[in-house]
Amino acid sequence: MMTIVNEKHKTPCGSYSVLYDEMAKQTHLLIAGRTGSGKSTVENGIIHSQLIQKNCSESQFILIDPKRVELSQWKHTPHCLFYSADEPSSRIQALTLANDIMQDRFRIMEDNHQRKYSGGTVHVVIDELADLLTTQKADVLPLIQRIGAIGRAVSVLLLCCTQCPTASILSTQLRCNFTSILGLRTRTAQDSRNIIGIKGCEKLPEYGQGYLITPHYEGIVNLPMISEAELDRVANYWSNRKNYVVV
């Protein structure tokens, strides 16, 4: 195993989206819209924005990818703590890992008399939230809600996507965990209300725009398209450094 010395901030050179970087900083982000509205584009854009700036001590990911294709390119990067595909047991394992990380960080804070964790961020990325909630709700919902309730204090953040923005999936009990929401194109005005509380997402373009709500902003945003070649470039850069240790 090799060691990179004095290169803590070395990352692949290139451009990145400031918007996706800002989304990554939000405390728990929900992305919802109909099939083909651009959820994967945003999801991968957010991950790209972090990997192009930060090493694995500053930004890490726990990836839950039921379809096995949306997030798989990142699973070999050193930033990826855990990659879960469609096995039900691995999804619970991924969310349990996130909760264990939170508890470890709270212990560190207690030992150091800190009110907020000062280390790197762990993003828990769930590609299709509806799939988890329709097949394993009793097991996964308490774990997700616990991250939503106390994860902010220790920089463990949710990034959840769904193409099924129904009231049964996006219940008030679940939505209250997310301080930021991105609504993409929906089929109906009711789906829009389920996501952002008002109608309007049904009138968005098929892709390229979204209605973003954060504690400091509310309005329509243009969503940058990161090319597949650029995503592959950054993924390959870090994957080739999987066995390196950054000190």
Where along the chain do its domains lie?
Answer: 18-239
Task: For strands 3-4 and 180-183, give the pairing.
Answer: unpaired
Reported for 198-202, long-range contacts at CB under 8 A and 24+ positions apart, including other chains, are 201/33
* Residue 72 in tokens: 């798989």
Q: What is the pLDDT along the chain (247 residues), one digit of tens a residue?
A: 223 333 444 667 667 789 999 999 999 999 999 998 999 999 999 999 999 999 999 999 999 999 888 999 999 999 999 999 878 899 999 999 999 999 999 999 999 998 889 899 999 999 999 999 999 999 999 999 999 999 999 999 999 999 999 988 988 888 888 999 999 999 999 999 999 999 999 999 998 999 999 999 999 999 999 999 999 999 999 999 865 444 3
> What is the structure's pLDDT at 78?
95
> What is the structure's pLDDT at 62?
98
Sign of CA dihedral 182, 25, 89, 92: negative
pTM across the whole model: 0.90
> What is the structure's pLDDT at 10?
61
- Would residue 6 be called left, alpha or beta, if left means φ above 0 and alpha means ψ between -120 and 50 degrees? left
Fold of 18-239: Rossmann fold (3.40.50)
d(CA 23, CA 181): 9
- Are 15 and 183 within 8 A, CB to CB? no
Angle at 24 between CA 31 and CA 62, to 5 degrees: 80
